[in-house]
Structure 1
Amino acid sequence: MTDRPRGGLLALCLAELVSWGLLYYSLPVAVTPIAADTGWSQTTTMAALSVGLLISAVAGIRVGRLLDAGGPRTVMTLGAVLGVVALLVVAAAPTLPVFFAGWMLAGLAQAATLYPPAFAVVTRWYGSARVRPLTLLTLVGGLASTVFAPFLALLLDQLGWRATYVVMAGILAVTVVPLHAFFLNRTWTPPPSAEPAAPASPPAASSALRTETRARVRAVTRSPRFVLLQVVVSLATFTLFAVTINIIPLLVHRGASFGLAAVALGLIGLGQVSGRLGYVALEAATTPRLRTVLLLGAGALGLWLLAFVPGPVALLVGISMLCGAVRGCLTLLQATAVSDRWGTADFGAVNGVFVAPVVALTALAPVAGPALAGLLGGYPPMVLLMAGVLTLATALAART
């Protein structure tokens, strides 16, 4: 496609790697030293990330419209700059409210830098050939925790958490900001088939175009099939994330040592990567609806097995990796669900609406898992509930 700049995909992959590592994974890595230094509980400290993600979900709708209307360079560069400011606010936060304010700013930055806007850019660049570059993007982005967790742990040990966040702000400033500023489109090139605009004053023509675009977006996003697909993908993402992010206490309950359970959590990440590697072949062999049903069905099977299989631990780790592989595929399913069914026109705006509840439920999942386990009397009943919800979502997926 004519809009694709030379080196754009590589630059976007690197920007995603750094953005995910610093604007998302940094707090789970730093939560213990932050809580120890400030006296805030770890649960309260982690809640700041959830609040930021909820803000990201809401802001992402507007970001998608801006990407469609004006191109990605300004929006995503300003998002990265805002991320730098957010990390500096976090570093200097003297009180818990200021700390939360920093992560609220980070949520706005996430909306303009993480997967949803990157998916919109890649979809615009590659059109019908989007699956392979989207797979590459998520493979590189999926390495963020692998690359940054040990690096940030070293910085935290040597510098303390406040200085580490200052260093992170510097890294974001010298990597993601220029990558967005120099390798993303300033504006989108009109399609070659576009006809000259009808005689009209520029403000009137622009207003008419915006009205037409809004009407097209509303027609898609308010259709029953779109809403049902939102529900299905949101429930699938929520249930699988709520279980896999809390796999350590579940496996400890099943008899695993803490160390082995922690290894299992890391292997879930490996499962995600393997799932994404296999998604290209799955995409080529299935329709969008069948693909959705198969993936959700595999995830539901994995959750049912985790709910009922008592051991051995090695088998439970294997089942956990299956759930991780489905989670990895779901990221690509989320990236392509809209364009597979409604095409790439106005993709940023439509996909921004589509992913808003997905991002919101993802933000709640880490807290919802332990909360539900407490209400239901343990982690196995929580997994059982999640398996039932995902089975319902699989049945609904047949109607998408």
Structure 2
Amino acid sequence: MATSPAARNRPRGGLTALCVGQLSSWGLLYYSLPVAVHPITEDTGWSATWVTGAFSLGLIISAVAGIYVGRLLDHRGPRITMTVGTLLGAAGLVLVGLAPNLPMFFVAWIVAGFAQSAALYPPAFAIITRWYGPARVRPLTIMTLVGGLASTVYAPITAFLLDAFDWRTTYFILATALAVINTPLHYFFLNSRWEATGETHKARRTPTTEIRTITRSSRFIVLQIVMATTVLALFSVTINIIPLLIERGIDYRMAALALGLIGAGQVAGRVVFSVIPHGDSPKTRTYVIVIGAAAGLWAIALIPGPGWLLIAAAVLTGSIRGCHTLLQATAVADRWGTNSFGTINGIFMAPITAVGALAPVAGPLLASQLGNYGLMAVCMAALTSLVAVLAVKS
């Protein structure tokens, strides 16, 4: 039975390779640093603020570099792009382990940031959208569910290595693991080039002016503002849920459990997103999810107790955050199709990725200015409510 060129663009085992690759990329290039902050600061004397600042700078670099990576994916295919990203990531982690001083530590995370732009979700979203077209939601859900386990799998592994070795040796081992696991997955299971289809030919003929027309349109810019602001609010509150709950009288152990349950809520939210009907307009989905985010944040901000009710609100907000991840992955294709998707989605995701990098710092900074985390949550809820008005124009 003949298969279409679009179907032949999906290498056998390609989705599995992407899932495993995302698991290790997120686990090693993202979640390793939060686990290692304390050993690094103890050994070097560098402040935790500077150490996490280097990591955040790398994420901002990945947001900017992601624009160029999107173009590479459109014109060169994913194999070399993601393989080079893996090798660059391994090199970045080696440089982290070798860094003799704080400036070189920043340089190491800048290198890792370039790698993240070619190894984390945005390029994987572009590949799955190219492979599956209108049927993309289910494979996107599968991949993000697997990727969502990265901290569950790799945080304990990183902690074990830090107990057994010093942090520098740990990063050498992590760099080796990234290269050994992801290099063959990306090189052997991703396309060297996109096979020509009618849509691919059209994408190659898509003039720069047409891409600019889309990316400079008021609808595109409004959608970026709505998405980036919602990411800022959701991440600032949920990532800092422990000090917020402690302020409400909940003990540390229960607050830490709430943080873990938020992760479980994200997984549930992604499953829900994959099974809801997608016949409605993308504007409606966006509006409903942003309203849901605002409602969850208002609940966290205003509910004084009891503890179980606050935790339930946090888990609900986590599930909205999970929905929002898939909303980001599908937003561009749902509105503008898949022609030149890598290029357009790279531009679309840049401010969202940058804001996501700043959110963990923005929450504590705003809380310190306002006096407590509760008021920070009120500000984030109000901000999300404000952009919900804009969402009707997205």
Deviation at 1:284, TM superposition (A): 2.7
Aligned equivalents of 2:62, 2:197: Cα separation in 1: 30
Match of 1:297 among 288, 291, 296: 291
Aligned equivalents of 1:192, 1:287: Cα separation in 2: 25
Aligned equivalents of 1:102, 1:340: Cα separation in 2: 37
**Residue deviations 1:282-308 (CA, integer Å, cap 9, x gap):** 243632111111111111011111111
* Change in 2 beyond 3 A, CA 1:277/1:40: same
Aligned equivalents of 1:304, 1:58: Cα separation in 2: 32
Matches within 5 A, 1:48-127: 48-127=54-133
Structure 1 residue 160 and structure 2 residue 160: aligned? no
State the SS of the aligned residue for 2:270: helix
Hey, what does 2:49 align to over in structure 1?
43
Structure 1 residue 176 and structure 2 residue 182: aligned? yes
Aligned length: 388
Maintained 8 Å contact 2:224/2:351? yes
State the SS of the aligned residue for 2:159: helix
* Change in 2 beyond 3 A, CA 1:323/1:62: same
State the SS of the aligned residue for 2:57: helix
Aligned equivalents of 1:7, 1:105: Cα separation in 2: 29
Hey, what does 2:135 align to over in structure 1?
129
Unaligned runs of 5+ in 1: 198-208
Match of 1:275 among 256, 269, 272: 269
Hey, what does 1:22 align to over in structure 2?
28
Hey, what does 2:215 align to over in structure 1?
221
Structure 1 residue 387 and structure 2 residue 387: aligned? no
Unaligned runs of 5+ in 2: 1-6
Match of 1:245 among 234, 239, 244: 239
* Change in 2 beyond 3 A, CA 1:166/1:193: closer
State the SS of the aligned residue for 1:113: coil
Hey, what does 2:257 align to over in structure 1?
263
Structure 1 residue 353 and structure 2 residue 353: aligned? no
Deviation at 1:44, TM superposition (A): 1.2
Aligned equivalents of 1:357, 1:265: Cα separation in 2: 26
Deviation at 1:328, TM superposition (A): 0.6
Hey, what does 1:206 align to over in structure 2?
none
Aligned equivalents of 1:63, 1:194: Cα separation in 2: 18
Deviation at 1:190, TM superposition (A): 1.0
Aligned equivalents of 1:289, 1:193: Cα separation in 2: 24
Deviation at 1:192, TM superposition (A): 4.8
Deviation at 1:225, TM superposition (A): 0.3
Could you tell me which amino acid in structure 1 is paired with residue 371 of structure 2? G
The TM-score with structure 2 as length reference comes to: 0.96
Match of 1:396 among 385, 390, 393: 390
**Residue deviations 1:176-202 (CA, integer Å, cap 9, x gap):** 11110101100111115788x9xxxxx
Hey, what does 1:3 align to over in structure 2?
9
Maintained 8 Å contact 2:206/2:339? no
Hey, what does 1:333 align to over in structure 2?
327
* Change in 2 beyond 3 A, CA 1:193/1:351: closer
Deviation at 1:344, TM superposition (A): 0.5
Aligned equivalents of 2:387, 2:151: Cα separation in 1: 29
Q: Aligned-pair RMSD on alpha carbons?
A: 1.4
Matches within 5 A, 1:186-201: 186-192=192-198
Aligned equivalents of 1:78, 1:285: Cα separation in 2: 38
Hey, what does 2:282 align to over in structure 1?
288
* Change in 2 beyond 3 A, CA 1:192/1:303: closer
The TM-score with structure 1 as length reference comes to: 0.95
Could you tell me which amino acid in structure 1 is paired with residue 317 of structure 2? C
Could you tell me which amino acid in structure 1 is paired with residue 294 of structure 2? A
Maintained 8 Å contact 1:283/1:291? no
Which one is further off, 154-163 or 276-285?
276-285
State the SS of the aligned residue for 1:157: helix
Aligned equivalents of 2:392, 2:281: Cα separation in 1: 11
Could you tell me which amino acid in structure 1 is paired with residue 345 of structure 2? N
Hey, what does 1:185 align to over in structure 2?
191
* Change in 2 beyond 3 A, CA 1:281/1:194: closer
Maintained 8 Å contact 1:213/1:346? no
Aligned equivalents of 1:341, 1:193: Cα separation in 2: 16
Identity over aligned pairs, percent: 55
Could you tell me which amino acid in structure 2 is paired with residue 126 of structure 1? Y
Matches within 5 A, 1:361-380: 361-380=355-374
Structure 1 residue 147 and structure 2 residue 153: aligned? yes
Q: Structure 1 stretches (4+) deviating beyond 6 angstroms?
A: none
Deviation at 1:58, TM superposition (A): 0.3
* Change in 2 beyond 3 A, CA 1:194/1:359: closer
Hey, what does 1:316 align to over in structure 2?
310
